Amino acid sequence: MADQSVLGRATAPDVINLGKGHPHRSLLDLESVCAAFSRAVQRPDAAMNMMQYGPGEGNADMLKSIRQCFHPNAPTGSLLVTNGSGQALDLVCCLFSQPGDVIFVDSPSYFLAFFTFKDHRLVVRDVPTGKHGMDLDALEVTLKETTPDKRPKLLYTVPVGNNPNGTSMTVPQMQRLVALSREYGFKIIADEVYRFLTFPETEPTLPSLFEFDDPANPTVFSLNSFSKLLGPGVRLGWIHTAPSHVEKMCSGGLLLSGGGLNPFTSEIVNEMLEGGEQLRTIAHLRKTYTSNVAVMCDALDKHVLPLKPGITYNRPTGGFFLWLEFPPNSIDTWELNELAQTKFGVSFFPGAKFSSTGRGTRLDSALRICFAYLDQAQIVEGVQRLSLAVKEAYSLVSAALRGLEQADRLSGCGLCRVNANVALPRATVRCSLDASLRGVKEALGVRALTYLSSVSVSEHSNPSVQSSPRRQLGSAVWARVLSIPPNAMTFAGLCVGLLCACLCVSGSRAHQDAALLFWAVNRLLDGMDGVLARFSGKASDWGALLDISCDFVVYAAIPIGLVVGCRGLDASSTARLFMSLAFLLASYFVNNGVLFYLSALLEKRKAGAEARGERTSVTMCDALIGGSETVLAYCFMFWARRTSAQALAFTFDVFSFLVGITALQRLVWARAALTGDKNA
């Protein structure tokens, strides 16, 4: 059974599923299939053609009809029948790549293809897409910066009616992409299953990438499928590629053992191609989808786009799907989908599904909806329900702001000075030890601020409880919290950290206990300042620089304070302790130098934190020692100081070694990121 976490959670019957990428049941022309079957079985050679093993390239009649209907200029031997585009993709990856090879993909990209790439142990690298498909400028820059022996072996793209964003490449872009493939030596897997489903239906069909291939140096595999043209259940498609590539696939184990694929269905579909039913079906699909796109776009324009400035979409030019984007970091569509299903009876596919790295990227603020699976009335109703879910999600901030205004009136103190462009707080913040303590601190901060804002929301939405002292207090506290400048909280954290270091100098047990408490407060304030900046709309580059600078001061001051506080040692023990401290600070210097110079290089290449959709100001690649481990190590330092100077020195040595390993890990990561070395 398919994993529902991959394909999308099963929805209740009353939930309108805007996510499912299937054709509507009324478009499944079973009557024509039955008629074609009746004709196919009446042919004199029907038993042999339908029930017997066949040639590896597929049913000869079927190949002839595909050439006549779809590829009139196809060279002899350039077509191969498949069980659909998914099986074709697997076959190409199997025979034309090796484990560890790099494959470039659209970002966002068809999410189920990622599992095929994982099966073949390919290294996936994203290439951003724009209004006309893959960003070829970004692709060319990446290719130029990669050494010849480290360049991709494959590139996967959906050039027409892109899944998930509905865009299509222009002819000049197609020509340029094929030229780049020849220049840089990679093969293109063009998933062209939507090529014959472009809009409006009056426009001519876009060409295949294969039409720009060079027979002397072929690089293109064009994948096609009747799943979108007739019905997914037929499990039939074809590959259009160079005859030499077809020969290689026919000599592989799959086709040598089993012969041509799906000969039974091939005879039936061939009858539909020869009789004209299939082409009439395609014309009907294009007309239907053109109308459905118009209905969906009108509904979005009316119900969703007015909800917040910055909500956008590209009008689809083909395929099944529309890509809806919200302002960056304003909403997490994964969580929005949960709200939409449980409360408003509508579902969709969150943008994170279409990222090769999952959640935590710029795609978190986008979603995919389908206009092929539902009738037009359901499309309109689904979009209306989606708008209600979006409105509900954004209402937390807007209602909180209204609560602040009321708190101002109640207090009369002018406490509320809040930027109107407050970002939507996230109810859930992902965090884990290996991703560093930032997630934990941010989660605590978000939950605290979300609770205060929810008090204002409840007060606004239920006038009967506005006189509640608890809710009036909540609104007032919320107002005071948001009135705090984030940089002031950062400076307060610095002061607490320096006080902690000063207390470390004392030999008193009480002062040591107080120092540990101040260390915990410092870490809490360090997490709260960033959260507060995002809530209040006051996030800035200067604030980010001030935050990390204060962190480094505290990280250095506390070990120094612990060492200075070790009194009464002999010369040998003192030298040993100061030597360990020197190694510790040196490891910090090396690690931070690697981390931030790497971040500068990534920003120079436009591949830094913003391009990766990260919430931090600079790229913080994961490694052995992160924020969580640093906090734990400092707690061990406090414990070791209470034990003996020798224990403190040993703790310094261990942590210095681990930080050194972290710097080495980041160098290895940097080599892979900057050179494209898959073995790094």
The reply to whether 480 and 382 lie within a common domain is: no
Would residue 403 count as lying in a domain? no
The answer to whether residues 662 and 623 touch, using CB atoms and an 8 Å cutoff, is yes
User: 315: domain CATH number?
Assistant: 3.90.1150.10
The DSSP result for 141-174, as a single string, is: HHHHTS-GGGS-SEEEE--SS-TTT-----HHHH
The reply to whether 376 and 457 lie within a common domain is: no
In the prediction, which pLDDT does 6 show? 52
User: 73: domain CATH number?
Assistant: 3.40.640.10
In the prediction, which pLDDT does 482 show? 59
Residue 578 is part of which domain span?
A: 434-675
The encoded tokens of residue 596 equal: 């931030």
The encoded tokens of residue 197 equal: 């489903």
In the prediction, which pLDDT does 414 show? 42
The reply to whether 378 and 477 lie within a common domain is: no
SS3 at position 262: coil
Residue 3 C-alpha from the chain's centroid: 19
The reply to whether 196 and 300 lie within a common domain is: no
Would residue 506 count as lying in a domain? yes
pLDDT in tens, 155-168: 999 999 999 999 99
pTM to 2 decimals? 0.63
Would residue 10 count as lying in a domain? no
The reply to whether 261 and 303 lie within a common domain is: no
In the prediction, which pLDDT does 466 show? 42
Query: What element of type H or E holds 368?
Result: strand 366-370
The reply to whether 508 and 574 lie within a common domain is: yes
The answer to whether residues 228 and 373 touch, using CB atoms and an 8 Å cutoff, is no
Query: What element of type H or E holds 449?
Result: helix 438-461
Which residues are bridge partners to 198 per DSSP? 318
The reply to whether 595 and 634 lie within a common domain is: yes
User: 510: domain CATH number?
Assistant: 1.20.120.1760
* Residue at which a domain ends, from 235, 250, 275: 275
The reply to whether 199 and 289 lie within a common domain is: no
Rg, Å, the chain Cα set: 30
**CA 127 – CA 189 distance, rounded (Å):** 14
Would residue 421 count as lying in a domain? no
Would residue 24 count as lying in a domain? no
The encoded tokens of residue 188 equal: 């293109």
In the prediction, which pLDDT does 611 show? 55
Which residues are bridge partners to 224 per DSSP? 238
Helices (H) and strands (E) in the chain, counts: 23, 14
The reply to whether 616 and 665 lie within a common domain is: yes
The reply to whether 131 and 46 lie within a common domain is: yes
- Burial class from Cβ neighbours inside 10 Å (0-12, 13-18, 19+) for residue 237 reads buried
- Give the burial string for 40-53 (b: 16+ CB within 10 Å, else e): beeeeeeeebbeee
| Weakly modelled stretches of the chain, pLDDT under 70 | 1-12, 396-483, 507, 534-537, 606-622, 676-680
The answer to whether residues 312 and 166 touch, using CB atoms and an 8 Å cutoff, is no
Would residue 589 count as lying in a domain? yes
The answer to whether residues 659 and 587 touch, using CB atoms and an 8 Å cutoff, is yes
* Residue at which a domain ends, from 253, 275, 297: 275
The reply to whether 205 and 313 lie within a common domain is: no
Count the domains in the chain: 3
Would residue 423 count as lying in a domain? no
* Residue at which a domain ends, from 222, 254, 275: 275
The answer to whether residues 271 and 36 touch, using CB atoms and an 8 Å cutoff, is yes
The reply to whether 292 and 267 lie within a common domain is: no
Q: How many residues does the chain have?
A: 680
In the prediction, which pLDDT does 462 show? 41
Calculated CA dihedral for residues 99, 101, 106, 111, nearest 10 degrees: 10
Would residue 15 count as lying in a domain? no
